[in-house]
Structure 1
Amino acid sequence: MEKTENEEEEQRKRADARIKYLMFLSKLSGSQTDIEMYENTNVRATITAPQANSEHFIVSNLETPIGKVEKAVLRSSDIVRITVAASEILRNKEK
């Protein structure tokens, strides 16, 4: 079964989007972030490393409403939104 040109173009677009997404994730490493979790829990943490498959984020200095944790792993499925200042991304780009 041969792929049509439209299918090949769509596959290229998906591959390009995935590469850009992974590059963005790599720029998050070392960034101070505010994270909105499921059920309206707001935390602050430094992203240490996102997993390439996007299932987990490894964080440090996690500040939660009930205390601070030096290192933790957050499930992506529990995260509603990650907010990071553009200056954090630009600072990490220079490294």
Structure 2
Amino acid sequence: MNTNNPQDKQLERQARKRAAAKLGWYLHACVYLLVNLLLVTLSVSSGRHWAVFPLLGWGLGLAVHGVVVFLLTGGAGLYQRLVQHERERLAQQRDMW
């Protein structure tokens, strides 16, 4: 890859950003599993099953995080499509003048 090319630099930055986002989700999922395993163990040993509430709440947050990382930013993500749309609109306006 030619690192002097601005497009290559932009692609590299974008690839690193996406990789960091995915790594962040994996870290989030590992912490979720470890903490909730501990909470379930404490919950069961106390004779009550209160750990289901943080499990579900945090699980919803983890699911939303996953949707954002893997669906909305995968491939041509929403942000990239919006930026491209605005570039096209600006180019059309420039060409009209």
Larger Rg computed on CA atoms: 2
User: Normalising to structure 2: TM-score of the pair?
Assistant: 0.33
User: Normalising to structure 1: TM-score of the pair?
Assistant: 0.34
Q: Which has the higher helix share?
A: 2
